[in-house]
């Protein structure tokens, strides 16, 4: 989430005129630099050179990045330069001077309107981001004996939360993780995401197995859509469990893409049976089948949504996830030791392949450690000041 927010801020700085966001710091430099350049040119060139058309651009440029007071100051300097008889800024007539004065006054009004709009926008965005972070808070780097890192990119770039959801929680005797995708995406899906995550966090604590957790999520969607006969709420999800007393992972899929097992450069899709999606009301009647996979030291699990596997290039070909991920690990085997860097490199490769990804994207890497390694890491963290 933090990395997603940083990417979104970078995009805002690049496209601030189209997005209506506050301008980046460099936009403040052109108005005073242009004014200084005009003064210097006027001082070293013959008086017959007419630069009055250039000074007319200073107030509008100032209105893009400065407040009304600073815009008024720069506009006043411009008008003063036009009226100084000894400076000789071209030979503007009365109509030219009045036109530039009117432009300066209009720029002050624009700067005032823009400043108020930016202040309102900052307030709205602050509240929206706080609400969205409450739905999907940043994950810790370690939950129990499992190191985890994730990358999330919403399809709607103005949003931090869309139709994908994920979480990692410590339960009695195990660490449980969830990666899923609700119907639709964008802000319309946030309510469903919040309901599912709330149900998962409760089910982690009191359900004895993953089938019980899946049943609780299924019931949540069924209840939420019961009062609306036209509602068609459903979601796909994959649930993972890393028990404390077993070097293995248990997996349950509810119509979701299967996780990948990364064992060195070998990338294998887990053969978990794809049960029915959540929200159909049949999880309790026909619970999804559970798959148990033994894990070796150094194994990694990758959970993802179909925004990754269904990304297409210009010819319409799907992104060959397993093949390109294997090539990345072969070229840089040490990247498996840094789950966060692995997700970032995968996302960069997806964007390079597809150009534009129009769906929500989630990638979660889980690095389970042996009990002794987890205890050593926990002890080291406890000794830190």
Mean pLDDT (the chain) is 81
For residue 256, give the nearest of 232, 242, 239, 241 by alpha carbon: 239
pTM: 0.69
Q: Indicate if the alpha-carbon torsion angle 69, 75, 81, 85 is positive or negative.
A: negative
Per residue in 113-159, pLDDT tens?
Answer: 988 888 887 777 777 666 666 677 778 889 999 999 988 887 665 55
The pLDDT-based confidence of 284 (bands split at 50, 70, 90) is: low
pLDDT given for residue 383 in this prediction: 39
Which parts of the chain fold into alpha helices (H)?
2-14, 16-19, 30-44, 52-55, 58-65, 68-83, 94-135, 190-206, 210-224, 306-309, 321-331, 339-354, 371-383
More confident of the two residues 172 and 55: 172
pLDDT given for residue 77 in this prediction: 87
Bridge partner list, 241:
176, 250
Per residue in 212-222, pLDDT tens?
Answer: 999 999 999 88
The helix/strand/coil state of 235 is: strand
pLDDT given for residue 184 in this prediction: 66
Per residue in 226-268, pLDDT tens?
Answer: 766 656 678 999 999 999 988 999 999 999 999 999 999 999 9
More confident of the two residues 122 and 335: 335
Can you tell me the distance from the alpha carbon of 263 to that of 272, in angstroms, rounded to the nearest whole number?
17
The pLDDT > 90 percentage for the chain reads 36
How many beta carbons lie within 10 A of that of residue 85, not counting itself? 5
Phi-psi region of 186 (alpha: psi -120 to 50; beta: other; left: phi over 0): left
Q: Indicate if the alpha-carbon torsion angle 347, 352, 354, 355 is positive or negative.
A: positive
Lowest mean pLDDT among 37-41, 198-202, 342-346: 37-41
In the predicted model, what is the mean pLDDT of residues 170-176?
A: 93
């Amino acid at each position: 989430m933090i990395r997603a927010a940083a990417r979104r801020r970078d995009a805002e700085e690049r496209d601030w005129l189209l997005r209506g966001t506050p301008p980046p710091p460099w936009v403040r430099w052109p108005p005073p630099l242009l004014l200084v350049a005009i003064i210097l040119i006027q001082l070293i060139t013959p008086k017959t050179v007419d630069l009055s058309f250039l000074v007319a651009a200073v107030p509008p440029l100032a209105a893009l990045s400065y407040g009304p007071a600073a815009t008024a100051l720069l506009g006043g300097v411009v008008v003063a330069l036009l009226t100084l008889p000894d400076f000789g800024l071209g030979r503007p007539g009365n109509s030219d001077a009045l036109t530039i004065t009117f432009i300066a006054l209009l720029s002050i009004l624009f700067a005032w309107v823009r400043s108020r709009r930016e202040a309102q926008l900052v307030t709205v965005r602050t509240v929206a981001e706080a609400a969205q972070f409450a739905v999907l808070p940043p994950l810790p780097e370690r939950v129990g004996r499992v190191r985890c890192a994730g990358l999330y990119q919403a399809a709607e770039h103005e949003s931090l939360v869309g139709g994908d959801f994920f979480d990692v929680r410590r339960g009695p005797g195990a660490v449980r993780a969830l990666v899923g995708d609700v119907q639709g995406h964008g802000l319309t899906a946030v309510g469903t995401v919040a309901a599912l995550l709330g149900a998962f966090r409760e089910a982690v604590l009191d359900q004895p197995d993953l089938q019980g957790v899946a049943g609780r999520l299924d019931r949540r969607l069924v209840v939420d859509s019961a009062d609306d006969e036209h509602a068609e709420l459903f979601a796909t999800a994959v649930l993972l469990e890393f028990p404390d007393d077993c070097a293995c992972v248990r997996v349950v899929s509810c119509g979701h893409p299967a996780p990948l097992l990364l064992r060195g450069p070998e990338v294998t899709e887990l053969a978990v049976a794809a049960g029915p999606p959540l929200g159909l009301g049949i999880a309790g009647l026909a619970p999804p089948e559970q798959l148990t996979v033994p894990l070796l030291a150094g194994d990694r699990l990758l959970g993802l949504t179909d925004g990754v596997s269904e990304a297409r290039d210009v010819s319409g070909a799907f992104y060959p996830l397993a093949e390109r991920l294997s090539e990345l690990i072969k070229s840089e085997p040490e990247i498996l030791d840094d789950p966060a860097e692995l997700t970032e490199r995968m996302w960069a490769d997806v964007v390079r392949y597809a150009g534009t990804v129009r769906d929500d994207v989630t990638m979660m890497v889980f690095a389970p450690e042996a009990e002794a390694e987890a205890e050593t890491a926990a002890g080291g963290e406890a000794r830190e000041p």
